Amino acid sequence: MAYENIKLETQGPISTLTIDRPKALNALNSKTLQEIESALQSLGPDTRVLIVTGGGEKAFVAGADISEMSSISAAQAREFAALGHRVFLALESLPFPTIAAVNGFALGGGCELALACDLIYASEKAKMGLPEVSLGVIPGFGGTQRLARLVGKMRAKELIFSGSHVTAAQAKEYGMVLDVLPPEKLMEHCQGVAAKILKNGPLAISQAKRVIEFGADQDLRAANELERQGFAVLFGSEDQREGMKAFLEKRPASFMGK
């Protein structure tokens, strides 16, 4: 499918989604969000890792498109936020790992897009933040909730109340990103992480993601029960039998996702 504002490329089990509006610093307008949603829905069963990044050299995603938002009504704002929440929930809910390669400005909606991914790596040139209060509004695509769960309520409040932009190094210190790379090494690093993931059982990876995501919002007993069930169900899979047989035979496993 042809897209206007994004690119979706697939090489074997790795797909790369690029937000590609460089003249607008990849800002998220309604059309771009709809295209992202369509792209996520189009990912086939062979995709096992998705890398999300920004086109051009300056921005991952500089934010939601203020030129679109500046004149909308409260009712229209509610619909715009609902669209963003729906798209980012779809991204967060994919049954395989997602990696944000933050190659530049990741502000507002761009920071929220990164926060909806499982793993975040940043270029040394990246800057991140949720500066919506400087526009008289608050984050509207899940940023208040995902950031607080990632870095804690007090740090999230500081970042959101101040509207500050933080460097990649600060973002790593705060726990917003895992590692900071030279710009020319960022995608190579993300692809290397994807390659490590691909060596493991896809059903196990999917279960691990599900258990971590759903367990994080439950008390410890309920979360451990979720883990117990996920652990047990995998023993009905061909991948579990292959993985353990390969270990005993001292050879690499050949997983089929069954």
pLDDT of residue 96: 97
Claim to verify: residue 116 and residue 223 sit in the same structural domain: no
258 inside domain? no
Residue 57's pLDDT is 87
Percent of the chain with pLDDT over 90: 97
Domain hosting 237: range is: 202-248
Residue 55 falls inside a structural domain: yes
Domain co-membership, 82 together with 40: yes
Residues 186 and 87 in one domain: yes
- List 79, 92, 132, 184, catalytic entry: 132
Same domain flag for 17 and 128: yes
Residue 255 in domain: no
> Whole-angstrom Cα distance, residue 81 to residue 165?
22
Q: Would you place residue 86 in the very low, low, confident or very high pLDDT band (cuts 50, 70, 90)?
A: very high
Q: What is the mean pLDDT of residues 37-57?
A: 96
191 with 230, same domain? no
Give me the CATH number covering residue 229. Answer: 1.10.12
User: Is the per-residue pLDDT at 140 higher than 80?
Assistant: yes
| 78 and 164 housed in the same domain | yes
End-to-end CA distance of the chain: 29
Q: Are 60 and 13 in the same domain?
A: yes
* 145 falls within a domain: yes
Domain co-membership, 244 together with 146: no
Question: Please, what is the average pLDDT of the chain?
Answer: 96
Query: Per residue in 81-112, is it b (16+ CB within 10 Å) or e — as a string?
Result: bebbbebbeebbebebbbbbbbbbbbbbbbbb
- Active-site residue (options: 9, 79, 92, 112): 112
Domain end, chosen from 157, 178, 198, is at: 198
Mean pLDDT of 9-14: 96
176 shares its domain with 225: no
- Rounded to two decimals, the pTM is 0.95
Q: Of the candidates 162, 177, 198, which is a domain's last residue? A: 198
Specify if 256 maps to a domain.
Answer: no
Q: For Cα atoms 78, 42, 185, give the angle at the middle one, nearest 5 degrees.
A: 90
> Any idea what the CATH number is for the domain that residue 57 is in?
3.90.226.10
Q: Is the predicted pLDDT of residue 179 greater than 90, yes or no?
A: yes
Residues 212 and 188 in one domain: no
| Domains contained in the chain, number | 2
The yes-or-no verdict on residue 255 having pLDDT over 90 is: yes
- Per-residue pLDDT for 40 more than 80? yes
- Whether residue 227 sits in one domain with residue 179: no
Evaluate whether residue 244 is within a structural domain: yes
132 as an active site residue: the answer is yes
Helix/strand/coil (H/E/C) assignment for every residue in the chain: CCCCCEEEEEECCEEEEEECCHHHCCCECHHHHHHHHHHHHHCCCCCCEEEEEECCCCEEECCECHHHHCCCCHHHHHHHHHHHHHHHHHHHCCCCCEEEEECCEEECHHHHHHHCCCEEEEECCCEEECCHHHHCCCCCCCHHHHHHHHHCHHHHHHHHHHCCEEEHHHHHHHCCCCEEECHHHHHHHHHHHHHHHHCCCHHHHHHHHHHHHHHCCCCHHHHHHHHHHHHHHHHHCHHHHHHHHHHHCCCCCCCCCC
Query: Residues 193, 224: one domain?
Result: no
Flag whether pLDDT at 1 surpasses 80. Answer: no
Return the pLDDT at 183.
Answer: 97
pLDDT at 26: 97
The CA distance from 107 to 62, in Å, is 5
Query: Does 2 score more than 90 pLDDT?
Result: no
